[in-house]
Amino acid sequence: MTCPHAAAAQAAARNVGTVVIDPMVQDLDGETAKLREAGPLARIDLLGVPAWAVTRHADARRLLVDPRLVKDLDAWGLWRSGEVTHAWPLIGMIDAGRSMFTVDGAEHRRLRAKTSQALTPRRLEAIRPDIERFTAELLDALEEGGRDGAVVDLKSVFAQPLPMKVVGMLMGVDPAANAMLTRQYKKFFSMLTPQEERLALLADLDVFYAGLVREKTARPTDDLTSALILADEGGEPLTEEEVIGNLKAMVAAGHETTIGLILNAVRALLAHPDQLRLVLDGEVSWEAVVEETLRWDTPTTHLLMRFATEDVEVGDGVVAEGEGVVISYRAIGRDPEQHGPDADAFDVTRPAPIRHMTFGHGPHICPGAALSRVEAGIALPALFARFPELRLAVPDADLRKLPVMTQNDMEAFPVLLGV
């Protein structure tokens, strides 16, 4: 379902060079190249809705701290005019309830404070043994499924359940709910899900998290949900709506990003066996693998959306007051002005530090960035240590992207373990 002006927007795309963002994600490399060719500020079409995409590292770094670009949905002209409604399939990623992801300034700092405190380096080190245990258990399951040359799906057996187990543990979610949450978020992000069903599952998630909040209010434990409930930053506790909004978004971001990071790293290494050998021989660190993967094949393709409260100049273009801005992280990660003329190449020997912005920049930088790095830093070496002969069971070109406009994820990742 698209907005009433979809036909006009699509006609404009043909006439003035607007880049139509493909909901089926058939050619991500081609789309990334088109965005970069369109300039620092590319006109894009998101399922019939016009917006701007920022495609250069330096511009994104500046704009992500520009107070004239805000998360407030009411600043969006198309929303105020009623041209965009809840019938638009991507609205749930913008109108996601009150949380640290949807407000700015002092309110953002208030809503974010307890989450940041719960994900400190000290806290992450404390849960490292749990992540290692989850990893070992899932590798056992992977080995069992791949015995005697059987094909096994690295995504469903390993890369997907690991981050959900970790973020669920941090939030105090009953492990029995992990499978349900995985299914719900998959449907939410998929462009194949009818909008009515997507809105219904969002309502179901609100009910689930409301129940979790009530449970933790009555019996708080050592988890992030309890910390958010008990938070009194600035003398003002978080409302139930704010706690639910933070939880809903944190669980989504906390597992989706890491799935993409793990799978994209494995895919890149298998496609570059000379670089994999350098890593396995200890000549290149796993940290370098993680950072180069984050730059080159970003888990988040496009981040929706900020809105201009006044005209904002970007290069030779202008984002007019009320217009929406998308940060296209995949295009930014391959910006030759930032990463050199070989920015399109995967290279784990690239000089450190690799100054990418895959987890954002400024006040809204991803609070779970360090957690995702820790998980990948444990999962990847453990995977290749257990299965040094790991290889794809299909040609790389046969791997299919999920129809998700904002996340860089695959339908499946069939492998042979060599066991």
Contact 44, 54 (CB under 8 A): no
The pairing of beta strand 312-314 with beta strand 324-327: unpaired
Bigger pLDDT: 159 vs 112: 159
Question: Residue 403: pLDDT above 80?
Answer: yes
What pLDDT band is residue 235 in, cutting at 50, 70 and 90? low
**Token output for 220:** 């708080």
Contact 99, 249 (CB under 8 A): yes
Question: Residue 7: pLDDT above 80?
Answer: no
Q: What percent of the chain has pLDDT over 70?
A: 95
Bigger pLDDT: 151 vs 118: 151
What pLDDT band is residue 2 in, cutting at 50, 70 and 90? very low
Question: Residue 389: pLDDT above 60?
Answer: yes
What pLDDT band is residue 117 in, cutting at 50, 70 and 90? confident
- In whole angstroms, how far apart are CA 4 and each of 8, 21, 73, 194, 314? 9, 18, 19, 17, 29
Question: Residue 75: pLDDT above 80?
Answer: yes
Burial class (CB in 10 A: 0-12, 13-18, 19+), 352: exposed
Neighbours of 11 (CB within 10 A): 12
The pairing of beta strand 414-416 with beta strand 69-70: unpaired
What pLDDT band is residue 195 in, cutting at 50, 70 and 90? very high
What pLDDT band is residue 298 in, cutting at 50, 70 and 90? very high
Q: What percent of the chain has pLDDT over 90?
A: 86
Rounded Cα distance, 319 and 51, in Å: 9
Question: Residue 302: pLDDT above 60?
Answer: yes
Question: Residue 48: pLDDT above 70?
Answer: yes
**Token output for 413:** 């990742």
Mean pLDDT of 154-179: 96
Rounded Cα distance, 271 and 186, in Å: 27
Question: Residue 289: pLDDT above 80?
Answer: yes
Question: Residue 311: pLDDT above 50?
Answer: yes
Rounded Cα distance, 178 and 369, in Å: 21
pLDDT in tens, 247-280: 998 999 889 999 999 999 999 999 999 999 999 9
Question: Residue 145: pLDDT above 50?
Answer: yes
3-state secondary structure of 92: helix
What pLDDT band is residue 64 in, cutting at 50, 70 and 90? very high
Confidence at residue 317, expressed as pLDDT on a 0 to 100 scale: 94
Confidence at residue 410, expressed as pLDDT on a 0 to 100 scale: 96
pLDDT in tens, 77-105: 999 999 999 999 999 999 988 899 999 99
